[in-house]
């Protein structure tokens, strides 16, 4: 395959970052914005061409006997530390990568276009586009990584660009603290990921460097995915604290994914990240960056399959997070926070699905990797409809100038385009056919029921909660009771300009039809096509649950009525706990401020101030004291100098004389 | 012979001590310069005496003495220049008024 397009895919956004970042200040807004959008359009074309070539060309590089292959377009040595520790940079093309290229470039383009309208009057418009380009570059670099190190480098770059964009409104203290929180939490999680990679490398380094599996090739995904057992053979014997070293390493690597994907208990940064501009939330904190953790698990999946315990861990973490986030989303007032918790919940859904994809025969039927396909399918559909919902929320905020649903209500008459597209997004996420979320969620639930009925039931409940909270927020925004302020002229909300409405309509259209994509033909665990067929009873159950949840939401929120406040008063403790996100932030504050800062750090600070600084201060004090004492010698009186000199000379003479005697 | 050398060395020591004493006690810079010359001449005298009595065959001591006299003449010129400048700056030529030179 020609390497021009793959190189362009990385080069265009990076060049845009440099051009807009360095020269943006000198450019007029319109020029900077249009350059950004046009370059992103070119990038979109490149990504689509590469992905479609991969999926449809039938080239034996990509597909052999109907089995899709992983193909390294290029892989060059970047840093060669030793003959074993070599860091490569390359471009790996495989089903999930090609799928992610489509997702990232599509959402990125929509967000670029949308931001033209949304950010029009904000200062730093050019800087904003530069950061968007940096993020796009990092995310694309992450998904095309050929080896663990490249992935880690871009993984951190994604974190940096997320930090920059959350803190875009750097004059708002809340945005600044949110960006710091996001960076520190994800960086803290990445520390574990780094430890995991180092543990792996320590054991893999013991294989011969010159063999096909030794040295740098041990970190190549191509190698890891095709011969995971051989590459990792040396890790299998070693154990640590009752688990094999490989299990620990894979769990540690997953912790990095937990940080980026906001799994419990590292989820606390994502709700606060909503301080960033809303299109950024759509791009980074809904569609692309936060699914990096899911992508990570998918990328390492053959290795996770060697140690099923780690997959069980992923399943448990995902299941708890999904339920927790869904409950919290029911009690939030800020619509972006609702969407943020919904994102956490849906990503956890994908995690559970991947965790349940472990190759295990049940009643003679081999459900190989269904959960993997379903998780990736949901990643795809979720990216589309969640970006749609966030962009819709952005249009609402743009019109109402508030994030709270209490300032909204009855907006369906004023903002028809936003209303209909938001409704489509809600139906998609709730899992109502024929919208896309239904198909992917159904496959995921099937995989979970196949793994264990407990996970199936548990996640069906979460799916019901999802439908409930999404329609709660939908009704509270668009129905309920009209905000009386809208009657005044000048306060009347209206639909957004075309740059903002067009992405909404496109994404809504995609959300309507994406479910009919035969996704199993494209992305599967082992490259062989999987024919999606709806499991009747699973589909029936999930539709029933979703419809019941929507009906409940309709009864409670379609018109202003005292029912919600009655329910709130019936269980004030639960409502308050859910509203306060079950006090996770308070727990973190307690641990960091009271225990770490107040206890451990205070002792360390005392040691620093009194022992280390004390030693230095003592040295300085002694020197100072001596200087004060002898400074009178430096009188400027030449005769005194001579006298002292004479005294010294006589003394030396006397000593010499005594010694000679 | 030793006794004869001592005749020369004793005046040399007296000259040197007088120079040191004068250098430490006098305030006038011209007097300081004179004291300095006294010490130099004492040293020169020692050179000549030791050369003459201990190493009669060689000439190094003599040469060094001539050399030191020449250097002393140049040094005196510089010292006089400095003294004149001090005088211009403070209105007298006392060494105590040149204490700011420590900076």
User: Which chain A residues touch B103 with a CB distance below 8 Å?
Assistant: 636
Of A218, A465, A161, give the one whose Cα is nearest residue A322: A465
pLDDT of B84 = 92
pLDDT computed for residue A13 by the predictor: 93
Contact A188, A259 (CB under 8 A): yes
A637: which chain B residues are within 8 Å (Cβ-Cβ)? 95-96, 99
Residue A384 has pLDDT above 80, yes or no: yes
Helix axes of A436-451 and A498-513: crossing angle, nearest 10 degrees: 40
**For position B13, what pLDDT does the model report?**
94
Dihedral angle, C-alpha A13, A94, A348, A508, nearest 10 °: 60
Cβ-defined contact of B24 to A635 (cutoff 8 Å): no
Nearest CB neighbour to A642, from listed B23, B99, B101 = B23
A367 phi, psi to nearest 5 deg: -90, 65
Contact A277, A115 (CB under 8 A): yes
With CA atoms as reference, report the closest residue to A193 among A257, A240, A262, A265. Answer: A257
Other CB atoms within 10 A of residue A541 CB:
19
Residue A465 near residue A549, CB atoms below 8 Å:
yes
Q: Pick from A308, A379, A373, A627: which is nearest to A524 by CA?
A: A373
A438-464 pLDDT, tens digit per residue, is 988 888 888 888 888 888 899 999 999
Contact A642 B20 (CB under 8 A): yes
The residue with greater pLDDT, A483 or B56, is B56
Task: Answer yes or no: do B96 and A637 touch at CB < 8 A.
Answer: yes
Distances (CA, A) of A217 to A95, A141, A250, A298, A547: 21, 19, 18, 20, 51
Of B20, B23, B100, Cβ closest to residue A636: B100
A69 burial via Cβ count (<10 Å: 0-12, 13-18, 19+): middle
Is the Cβ–Cβ distance between A474 and A426 less than 8 Å? yes
Q: Which chain B residues are within 8 Å of A643, Cβ to Cβ?
A: 24
Confidence of residue A652 (pLDDT cuts 50, 70, 90): very high
Q: Which residues contact A260 (CB under 8 A, 6 or more apart)?
A: A155, A158, A159, A186, A189, A190, A289, A290, A292, A293, A296
List of chain B residues whose C-beta atoms are within 8 Å of the C-beta of residue A642: 20, 23-24
The answer to whether A462 touches A345, Cβ cutoff 8 Å, is yes
CA pseudo-torsion sign A302, A304, A308, A312? negative
* Confidence label for B90 from pLDDT (cuts 50, 70 and 90): confident
How many other CB atoms are there within 10 angstroms of residue A624's CB atom? 10
Nearest CA-CA distance, residue A637 and chain B, Å: 5
pLDDT tier at A213, thresholds 50, 70, 90: very low
Q: CA angle at residue A197 from A192 to A201, to 5 degrees?
A: 145
User: B48 to chain A nearest CA, in Å?
Assistant: 23
Strand pairing report for A63-64 and A71-80: unpaired
Q: What DSSP string describes A360-393?
A: -EETTEE-TTHHHHHHHHHHHHHHHHHHHHHHHH
β strands within B1-103, DSSP E: none
- Residue closest to A350 by CA, chosen among A297, A307, A387: A297
Neighbours of A400 (CB within 10 A): 23
CB contacts < 8 Å between A and B, how many?
A: 27
Q: Are A287 and A386 in contact (CB under 8 A)?
A: yes
Is 90 exceeded by the pLDDT of residue A653?
A: yes
Residues of chain A in contact with residue B99, where contact means CB-CB under 8 angstroms, are 635-637
List, in order, residues 6 or more apart from A138 with CB less than 8 Å away.
A154, A157, A158, A160, A161
Q: Rounded to a whole number, what is the distance in Å from the CA of B25 to chain A's nearest CA?
A: 8
How large is the C-alpha radius of gyration of chain A?
Answer: 30
Q: CA A416, CA A400: separation in Å to the nearest integer? A: 15
By C-alpha distance, which of A380, A333, A376 is closest to A354? A376
Residue among A185, A462, A474 nearest A346 (CA): A462
Nearest to A642 among B24, B99, B103 (CB): B24
The pLDDT tens digits for A324-355 are: 999 999 888 888 999 999 999 999 999 999 88
Q: Are B24 and A638 within 8 A, CB to CB? A: no
CA-to-CA separations, A410 to A484, A491, A492, A497, A534, in angstroms, rounded = 10, 14, 12, 20, 37
Given an 8 Å threshold on Cβ–Cβ distance, is B100 in contact with A643?
no
Q: Do the Cβ atoms of B102 and A643 come within 8 Å?
A: no
Gap between the Cα atoms of A103 and A289, Å rounded: 11
Tally the C-alpha atoms within 13 A of residue A121's C-alpha that lie toward its C-beta.
1
Q: Which residues of B12-29 are buried (b: 16+ CB within 10 A; e: fewer)?
A: beebbeebbebbeebeeb
Q: Which residue has the tokens 């620093």?
A: A608
Residues of chain A with C-beta less than 8 angstroms from the C-beta of B96: 637
CB contact under 8 A, A638 and B98: yes
Rounded CA gap, A369 and A355, in Å?
10
At A390-416, the pLDDT tens digits run 999 998 888 888 888 878 877 888 888
> How far away is chain A from the Cα of B98, in angstroms, using its nearest Cα?
8
> For residue A11, what are its two tokens?
């080069």
Q: Which of chain B's residues have a Cβ under 8 Å away from the Cβ of A636?
A: 98-103
Which residues sit opposite A71 in a β-bridge? A93
* Angstrom distance (rounded) from CA A555 to CA A551: 6
CB contact (8 A) between residue B102 and residue A642: no
| Three-class DSSP category at A89 | strand
- Is a pLDDT exceeding 60 seen at residue A484? yes
Map tokens 């909300």 to a residue. A493
Q: Answer whether B23 sits within 8 Å of A635, measured CB to CB.
A: no
Task: With cut-offs at 50, 70 and 90, classify the pLDDT of residue A233.
Answer: low
Nearest CA to CA, how far is A169 from chain B (Å)? 55
Which of B25, B99, B103 is opposite residue A637, by nearest beta carbon? B99
pLDDT tens track for A236-251? 666 777 677 888 888 9
Q: Supply the pLDDT for residue A534.
A: 76
Query: Alpha helices of A607-637 — where are they, by DSSP H?
Result: 613-630
Selection from A440, A391, A610 nearest residue A542 by Cα: A440
Measured in angstroms, the CA of A618 and the nearest CA of chain B are apart by: 29
Q: What distance in Å separates the CA atoms of residue B3 and residue B25, rounded to the nearest whole number?
A: 33
User: Of all helices (H) and strands (E), which one includes residue A93?
Assistant: strand A86-93
Query: What average pLDDT score do residues A3-12 get?
Result: 89
Distances in Å between the Cα of A452 and the Cα atoms of A301, A589, B60 are 20, 37, 110
Give this prediction's pTM. 0.79
pLDDT tens profile A29-73: 888 888 899 999 999 999 999 999 888 887 888 888 878 888 888
Rounded Cα distance between A72 and A536, Å, is: 40
Structure tokens at B19: 């120079």
* pLDDT the model gives residue B44: 93
CATH top-level class of B7-94: mainly alpha
Peptide bond into A434 cis (omega under 30): yes
CA distance linking residue A506 with residue A286, whole number of Å: 17
The C-alpha atoms of residue A145 and residue A159 are separated, in whole angstroms, by: 16
């Amino acid at each position: 395959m020609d390497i021009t397009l793959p190189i362009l895919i990385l080069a265009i956004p990076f060049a845009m970052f440099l051009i807009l970042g360095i020269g943006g200040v000198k450019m007029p807004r319109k020029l900077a914005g249009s350059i950004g959008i046009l370059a992103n359009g070119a990038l979109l074309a490149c990504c689509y061409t590469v992905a479609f070539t991969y999926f449809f060309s039938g080239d034996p590089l990509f597909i052999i006997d109907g089995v899709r292959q992983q193909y390294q377009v290029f892989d060059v040595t970047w840093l060669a530390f030793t003959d074993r520790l070599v860091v490569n940079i390359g471009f790996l093309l495989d089903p999930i990568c090609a799928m992610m290229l489509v997702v990232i470039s599509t959402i990125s383009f929509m967000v670029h276009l949308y931001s033209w309208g949304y950010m029009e009057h904000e200062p730093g418009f050019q800087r904003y586009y530069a950061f968007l380009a940096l993020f796009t570059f990092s995310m694309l670099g992450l998904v095309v990584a050929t080896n663990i190190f490249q992935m880690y480098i871009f993984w951190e770059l994604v974190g940096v660009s997320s930090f920059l964009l959350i803190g875009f409104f750097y004059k708002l203290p809340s945005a600044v603290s949110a960006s710091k929180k996001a960076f520190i939490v994800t960086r803290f999680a990445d520390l574990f990921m780094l430890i995991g990679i180092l543990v792996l490398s320590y054991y893999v380094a013991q294989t011969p460097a010159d063999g096909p599996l030794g040295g740098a090739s041990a970190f190549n995904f191509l190698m890891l995915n095709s011969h995971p057992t051989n590459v990792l053979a040396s890790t299998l014997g070693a154990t640590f604290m009752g688990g094999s070293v490989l299990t620990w390493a894979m769990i540690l690597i997953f912790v990095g994914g937990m940080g980026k994907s906001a799994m419990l208990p590292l989820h606390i940064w994502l709700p606060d990240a909503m301080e960033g501009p809303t299109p950024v939330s759509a791009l980074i904190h809904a569609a692309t960056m936060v699914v990096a953790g899911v992508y990570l698990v998918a990328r390492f999946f053959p290795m996770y399959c060697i140690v099923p315990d780690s997959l069980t861990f992923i399943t448990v973490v995902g299941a708890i997070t999904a339920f927790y986030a869904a409950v919290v989303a029911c009690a939030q007032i800020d619509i972006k926070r609702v969407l943020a918790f919904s994102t956490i919940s849906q990503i956890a859904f994908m995690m559970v699905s991947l965790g349940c994809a472990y190759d295990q025969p049940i009643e003679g039927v081999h459900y190989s990797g269904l959960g993997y396909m379903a998780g990736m399918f949901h990643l795809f559909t979720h990216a589309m409809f969640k970006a749609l919902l966030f962009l819709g929320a952005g249009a609402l905020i743009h019109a109402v100038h508030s994030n709270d649903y209490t300032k909204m209500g009855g907006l369906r008459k004023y903002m028809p385009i936003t209303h209909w597209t938001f409704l489509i997004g809600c139906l998609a996420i709730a899992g109502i056919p024929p919208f896309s979320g239904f198909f992917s969620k159904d496959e995921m639930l099937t995989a979970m029921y196949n793994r264990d009925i407990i996970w199936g039931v548990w996640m069906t409940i979460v799916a019901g909660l999802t439908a409930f909270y999404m329609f709660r927020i939908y009704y509270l925004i668009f129905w309920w009771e009209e905000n009386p302020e809208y009657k005044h002229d000048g306060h009347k909300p209206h639909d957004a300009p075309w740059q903002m409405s067009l992405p909404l309509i496109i994404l809504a259209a995609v959300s309507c039809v994406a479910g009919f994509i035969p996704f199993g033909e494209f992305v599967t665990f082992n490259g062989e096509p999987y024919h999606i067929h709806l499991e009747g009873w699973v589909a029936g159950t999930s539709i029933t649950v979703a419809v019941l949840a929507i009906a409940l939401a309709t009864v409670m929120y379609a018109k202003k009525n005292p029912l919600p406040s009655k329910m709130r008063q019936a269980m004030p403790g639960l409502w308050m706990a859910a509203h306060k996100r079950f006090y996770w932030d308070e727990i973190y504050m307690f641990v960091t401020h009271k225990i770490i800062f107040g206890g451990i750090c205070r002792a360390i600070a005392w040691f620093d101030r009194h022992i280390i600084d004390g030693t230095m201060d003592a040295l300085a004090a002694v020197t100072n004291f001596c200087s004060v004492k002898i400074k009178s010698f430096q009188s400027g009186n030449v005769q005194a100098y001579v006298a002292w000199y004479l005294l010294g000379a006589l003394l030396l003479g006397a000593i010499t004389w005594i010694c000679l005697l | 012979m030793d006794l004869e050398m001592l005749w020369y060395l004793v005046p040399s020591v007296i000259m040197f001590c007088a120079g040191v004493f004068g250098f430490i006690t006098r305030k006038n810079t011209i007097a300081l310069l004179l004291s300095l010359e006294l010490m130099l001449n004492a040293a020169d005298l020692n050179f000549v005496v030791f050369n003459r009595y201990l190493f009669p065959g060689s000439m190094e001591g003599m040469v060094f003495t001539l050399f030191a006299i020449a250097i002393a003449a140049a040094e005196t010129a510089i010292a006089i220049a400095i003294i004149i400048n001090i005088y211009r700056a403070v209105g007298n030529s006392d060494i105590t008024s040149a204490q700011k030179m420590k900076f």
